[in-house]
Structure 1
């Protein structure tokens, strides 16, 4: 029997299945100092993006001698010091197939909202404004979508965008993908110059700096749109706001922020910004798939 801690929640069906297998599951969020102590009593910890498992927490868990595995219930593992944990004998796993479709659909949702003023129309119409002439939008069909990073989420998004008639280009740190000849590979600087919509799909930078900073935004097409449903901090929010205010960018779709809950009110309230509160993987279907993958990972322990 394993004792399992889910710090950021877990689908109810997964909890029931784990309990049916004889395991004990606790769902509770801990602040970092408290988590260090708590993990001494668990065999497995399941985290989402809210919980950061850094070296001091790993040290405490290793000292306790009980923790066998850290599972990231989602795609990225940049909130976990993976190599450090594995060097301490603690396995690290994720659920890479679970939320790709959900995040890809949210990216499309932001793109459509920006292109057709859906989000801001919901605000202004409820304020009694009828801005029919003001909201002249653009169609996605025929536009070029530039994908920065080409993992599972990007693959899903590329398929969906292609079905809408978009031209898809991508860049990737490991170079072109031979399995996807229908999409054109190019270096980041070239992609930024050609894309009408740029969608970010990378983990956080190791040095903590923004991948898309003022210099990169300056390389983008005038009037382009920038979407970030990947990681907060990958886009420089100050530079982004400046580009929106100047008209360099027509709009931005943002699901992740440098500080969460988001506090950048100038960005949140900008009329050309579509915002959501880090809900990329927050669909019933994705959470069920995440739970199923978590169960399979634990079964393999």
Structure 2
């Protein structure tokens, strides 16, 4: 929904997104037209967190290339030696609801968790058993990095060439948040040069994406934006947004309105 579409819809009162991301909605244009924009911000928290964890584990244990090798008729156990997550350091970039859920679950794996989030206090984060650090410190000390940031002007290519020059060569990086926060070209370069061990990617700067150079790498496990693709998350999103639309049209307060 861009400005042109919004201005053409003269009777439009509500734009509802049965999910979280609003990259495809011109929120300032909607606000100027007095159109309420609604999403379902908590609908996919569990599903998104679980996918990030799945990608992390798949990368650590070479599950994608090992599966492909076995299907090709090979039994190459020695080729796919992985790494444990136990007692490793997990760096979470963006410590909102999804990042916090990932932290909670991965602490149960015995991981040490650190986080970067410029909008949270160290005191608040410490109550969750997590240490808040600057981004540079996170990059230098993490064995696994998972990104949980929205795509904004400030976060586009936040994890790019400069950031990737600071990580351990043994690091595994996961992005199941928003495409464009992780610079895919810089990641490809870092992996092929041996500066990043592996990655799990679910989101891309341009979608649909079917021809990324990353797809050619055994060190990358990739999925087609499946973060919210569970029956439970889709049902939850539909119910949540339907309740919000009803409230909006009835003139009631709408907690999930993003521009009201």
Fold in common (TM above 0.5):
yes
3-state SS of 1:205 partner: coil
For the 8 Å contact 2:149–2:155, the answer to whether it is kept is: no
3-state SS of 1:133 partner: helix
Report the aligned-residue RMSD. Answer: 1.6
CA distance in 1, matches of 2:92, 2:4: 35
Which residue of the partner structure matches residue 251 of structure 2?
none
Which residue of the partner structure matches residue 193 of structure 1?
140
Which residue of the partner structure matches residue 55 of structure 1?
3
3-state SS of 1:300 partner: helix
**1:291 Cα offset (Å):** 1.2
Structure 2 unaligned blocks of 5 or more: 249-260
Which residue of the partner structure matches residue 200 of structure 2?
253
Please state if 1:231 is matched with 2:187: no
Q: What is the TM-score of this pair, normalised by structure 1?
A: 0.78
**1:101-180 alignment runs, 5 A limit:** 101-176=46-121, 178-180=123-125
Please state if 1:86 is matched with 2:31: yes
CA distance in 1, matches of 2:55, 2:163: 21
CA distance in 2, matches of 1:173, 1:71: 29
Structure 1 pair 178–78 and aligned structure 2 pair: CA distance change class (3 A): farther
Q: What is the TM-score of this pair, normalised by structure 2?
A: 0.90
What is the aligned residue count?
A: 246
Give a deviation string over 1:135-189, Cα, whole Å, max 9, x none: 1111111111111111111111111111111111111131325433111001111
CA distance in 2, matches of 1:202, 1:143: 22
Give a deviation string over 1:52-82, Cα, whole Å, max 9, x none: x222222222xx2x11111222223233222
Which residue of the partner structure matches residue 254 of structure 2?
none
CA distance in 2, matches of 1:75, 1:163: 27
Q: Quick check: which has more Rg, 1 or 2?
A: 1
For the 8 Å contact 1:255–1:276, the answer to whether it is kept is: yes
Structure 1 pair 277–221 and aligned structure 2 pair: CA distance change class (3 A): same
CA distance in 1, matches of 2:124, 2:161: 33
Higher relative contact order (CA 8 A, sep 6+): 2
Which residue of the partner structure matches residue 225 of structure 2?
278
